[in-house]
Amino acid sequence: MTNEATVPTADPAGLPITGPVGPVVQAGQLANAVAQAALIDNEGKRVDVRSRGAYVRIEVDGGECVLRRKTIEEALGRPFQMRDLELSMPSFVGRIETGTQQVRFYLGHRTGTPAQEGSA
């Protein structure tokens, strides 16, 4: 990937992404695999991938980005555990829901009191 690389899957007019969410991953093999997985696992949505030197920013349009373990494994060509993504992900956009088979980034609005939210 080159600096400022953008890979749109939709909206080739270059309009800004609406409701962007997704990971920021340290540059390297895993970042490339996550970018490929974002394109596959979020088919039909616009996916922007921007290399910033030390990290790669991956943003998916529409307020939700799903990354599946199986897709990342296929892109890497080796077994992969989702917890390893967290080690290479210094930041992300949106909220996050993690699991052993997939991770989901999404836009969410807080409902309830701060005490209720802290216990979730």
Interval 17-56: pLDDT, tens: 889 999 999 999 999 999 999 999 999 999 999 999 999 9
Q: How many CB atoms lie within 10 A of CB 77?
A: 9
pLDDT at 59: 97
Evaluate if residue 105 carries a pLDDT over 50: yes
Within 12-113, residue ranges assigned H as helices are 29-41, 69-76, 83-87
Strand order in the sheet with 64-68: 64-68, 102-106, 95-98
Residue 10's pLDDT band (boundaries 50, 70, 90)? very low
Residues 6+ apart with CB under 8 A from 115: none
Q: Which CATH number fits domain 22-118: 3.40.50.720, 3.30.70.1050, 3.40.1280.10, 3.90.56.10?
A: 3.90.56.10
pTM over 0.75: yes
The average pLDDT across 61-75 equals 97
pLDDT at 108: 84
